[in-house]
Structure 1
């Protein structure tokens, strides 16, 4: 099999250029670690999953699905309920915090 390496084959397409620009505008995928005195803490417990705690209470989980953070409320992942999808990790954490107050 022979690959065509002509200049036309190597030029980036308009779609690829537009997509790469859009991807650079997305928020960072790794959230900053919580401060030492923070009430709410999170820990990476799987490749794309964070466990969120307030003190010793598990508020829920945040799954990273592509560019989206999915907030799942509940102390057990297997029974957690989807509450929100957002592009910002801090909004997903706030969603989990607000459900505990109710």
Structure 2
């Protein structure tokens, strides 16, 4: 397995399908906001070749839950299939 220094930097991810309940928006050159039915569920920071997944509606309070090389796995860590919306806070 190649070391992380040998892996290429990540390119921006294509947008989610228009009819998808789970979507992501690039909010910074190295950050995506993950939304479920237009409610923020978490963030993905791009650190070199690694996706660092943060769960929570506010970036300043989000908690790291996963580091992965796979963007789809990163999204699933925040919004697993069948996850209901968070509801009112």
Q: Same fold (TM over 0.5)?
A: yes
Q: Summarize the Cα distance change of 1:69–1:34 in structure 2 as closer, same or farther, 3 Å threshold.
A: same
Runs of 4+ in 1 over 4 A off after TM superposition: none
CA–CA distance in structure 2, aligned partners of residues 56 and 66 of structure 1:
28
Instruction: Give unpaired runs (5+ residues) of structure 1.
Output: 1-17
Q: TM-score, normalised by structure 2?
A: 0.78
Partner of 2:15: 33
TM-aligned CA distance change 1:69 to 1:38, over 3 Å: same
**Aligned-pair distance for 1:68?**
0.1
Where does structure 2 lack aligned partners over 5 or more consecutive residues? 85-89
Report the TM-score, using the length of structure 1 for normalisation: 0.69
Greater strand share, structure number? 2
Structure 1: how far apart are the matches of 2:68 and 2:9?
A: 11
- 1:58 aligned onto 2:40: yes
Mapping of residues 13-92 of structure 1, within 5 Å? 22-23=6-7, 28-92=10-74
Q: Which has the higher helix share?
A: 1
Structure with higher Rg: it is: 1
Distance in 2, Cα, partners of 1:91 & 1:27:
17
How well do the aligned residues superpose, as a CA RMSD in angstroms? 2.4
How many residue pairs are counted as aligned between the two chains?
80
Instruction: State the structure with bigger RCO (CA 8 A, min sep 6), 1 or 2.
Output: 2
Contact 1:52 1:93 (C-alpha < 8 Å) held by counterparts: yes
